[in-house]
Homo-oligomer: A and B are copies of this chain.
Amino acid sequence: MQTTENLSIFALGGINEIGKNMYVIQYADDIVIIDCGGKFPDESLLGIDLIIPDISYLEENKAKIRALVVTHGHEDHIGGIPYFLRKLNVPIYATAFTLGLIELKLDEHKLKRDTKLIQIDSKTEIEFGKIKTSFFKTNHSIPDCLGIVLHTPEGNVVHTGDFKFDLTPMNNQYSDIHKMAEIGNKGVLVLLSESTNAERPGLTPSERMVEDHMLEAFTKASGKIFVSTFASNVNRVQQVVEAAMKTNRKLALLGRSMVNIVSVAIERGYLTIPDGMLMEAQEIDKLSSEKVAILCTGSQGEPNAALARLATGNYRDAAIYPGDTVILAASPIPGNERNVSSIIDNLFQLEAKVIYGSGSTTGMHVSGHGYQEDLKLMLTLMKPTYFIPIHGEYRMLHHHRLLAESVGVEKGNTFIIQNGDVVDVQNKVARKTRKIPAGDTYIDGMGVGDVGEIVLRDRKQLSEDGMLVMVITINKVDRKLISGPDIITRGFVYARNADDLLKEVNKRVKKTVEELQAEDTRQWNIMKQNIKKSVGQYLFAQTRRRPMILPIIIEI
């Protein structure tokens, strides 16, 4: 008998990439979605603002979707939610802090709140149809993170979320290590575990490592102190608060996300700032420098964030003076190194003291993602029969597989998947056999998915060599040229350098029109092709450029 009582596991995003995490567990007619992230495009995706997962499979199966469960509040796990909700109205389950960040996001997008947002914690147990779901606490560079256990008739599936094992965490962000052991003891059929730091040997340092270094920097500093970090790294923020407190500095917050996220963190009890310690940005200059600490956004070099503007002297409410200290308490994400370096250059030009570089050098940053020993500890606790490394580029997944095998996962039982590859489990046997649609959906301005390969290819050509438009007006009776060619160029070459070039282009267009006129044809497409060819060859020979050539023929 053919049965649909099948457990299926797949990713719609997060595999072979860092970003747009979205994983799906389906048992029979019940679907649970885990996370809905966004990803920032690299420079090859001209004009694209954000990438989100292709959710066409979910749209086709929307009646089966029981929940979107969100493991934590980072952009690569919640950034796609506003777009997701426009297509699918699914209840969202997350912890208090994560929900706070999701609500901020929905407000920014001015989305109506007809979506159910359901607060859960690590003790919650819910049934999503036949998928009984429970949770465990993990530690990461944002508070209130969850791992998820999906109990299905076929067996238990565990999704770790992002994690490290920090045995001395700030703010009581302890991992549920005993609960994890218990889950492992009861039997895990499939483990999905994050792979970000699978290339790095050792154990991730504790967030506490930052404590002494931060205090030392605060103690040594004479002028104002600026600390730039991710606003969502609330435990790091807490350490800045404490260093400021111990050195009698008041604290200002610069940057919209810093102000918003800190206020969510305070409201919901994840951050403690003593009364009277916070001050408005406008008060900074009223206090003497050694009484001031400032937390600001922009640690990734974002050109419009507070730090970049401070570094060029373009921030309205605050300025960096010679002798002030600037601490970069975050590592640049690959791709952001140049922007961060240029900010550091600007800060030195302002004669600031700058504390920057890798966390192991400065002590101002530790990773939130487990290194190899953390990953091995998770694998050891969970003892999965099958393993799917997730959340990483291929080389990370590859190394994570080796780690799994080193702690006893059987060879052949690790599935390195692509987004869209489905792992089906039936009678406790897992197989990777089929694919569902998965890919990138581009967000450009308000457009979702209306920009694709052709538009991007045109943008690329325009960006590299610009364009020439040539308008020709032709008599519809005798096909003689009435006026033109009128030639306009943009992004190609300075007009003043192009006089001779454009004269020859003009001549060639006229000649092409005359040739076509001699033949008795009204095939404007042929005329356009011939113009493109003749002008294109000439311009390439002269300039080694291939601008877009757009002949426009007006018949009158």
The interface of chain A, by Cβ under 8 A from chain B, is: 16, 42-43, 46-47, 199, 334-335, 337-338, 341-342, 344-346, 348-349, 354, 357, 393-395, 398, 444-447, 450-452, 454-456, 458-460, 462-467, 469, 471, 473, 482-484, 486, 488, 490-494, 497, 542-545, 548, 550, 552, 554-556
Contact = CB atoms under 8 A, between A and B. Distances in A.
25 contacts: A46-B464, A46-B491, A47-B463, A199-B357, A337-B337, A341-B393, A344-B395, A345-B394, A345-B395, A349-B394, A445-B545, A447-B493, A450-B497, A455-B494, A456-B491, A458-B466, A462-B463, A462-B490, A467-B467, A471-B552, A482-B556, A483-B555, A488-B550, A490-B550, A552-B552
A548 B471 CA distance: 17
A471 B554 contact: yes
A459 B491 contact: yes
Contacts of A545: 47, 444-445, 447
B462 A395 contact: no
A47 to B, nearest CB: 4
Nearest to A466: B459
Nearest to A444: B545
* Chain A contact residues, majority secondary structure: mixed
A357 B200 CA distance: 10
Given A335-B338, A483-B556, A463 B466 contact: no
A452 B493 CA distance: 8
A394 B548 CA distance: 39
A447 B493 CA distance: 9
Given A445-B543, A486-B552, A16 B462 contact: no
A395 B348 contact: yes
A200 to B, nearest CB: 10
Contacts of A354: 395
Contact of A556 (B357, B464, B473): B473
A469 B543 contact: no
Given A348-B395, A447-B545, A494 B452 contact: yes
Nearest to A454: B494
A159 to B, nearest CB: 23
Contacts of A482: 556
A97 to B, nearest CB: 30
Contacts of A462: 459, 462-463, 466-467, 490-491
Contacts of A341: 334, 393, 395
A552 B469 contact: yes
A158 to B, nearest CB: 25
Given A338-B334, A552-B471, A458 B493 contact: no
Contacts of A335: 337-338
Contacts of A444: 465, 543, 545
A457 to B, nearest CB: 9
A-B pairs with lowest CB-CB distance, top 4: A445-B544, A463-B463, A47-B464, A462-B462
Contacts of A42: 338
Given A459-B491, A473-B473, A488-B552, 19 more contacts: A46-B491, A47-B466, A341-B395, A345-B394, A345-B395, A445-B544, A447-B497, A450-B493, A450-B494, A450-B497, A452-B494, A455-B491, A455-B494, A462-B491, A467-B467, A471-B471, A471-B552, A490-B548, A490-B550
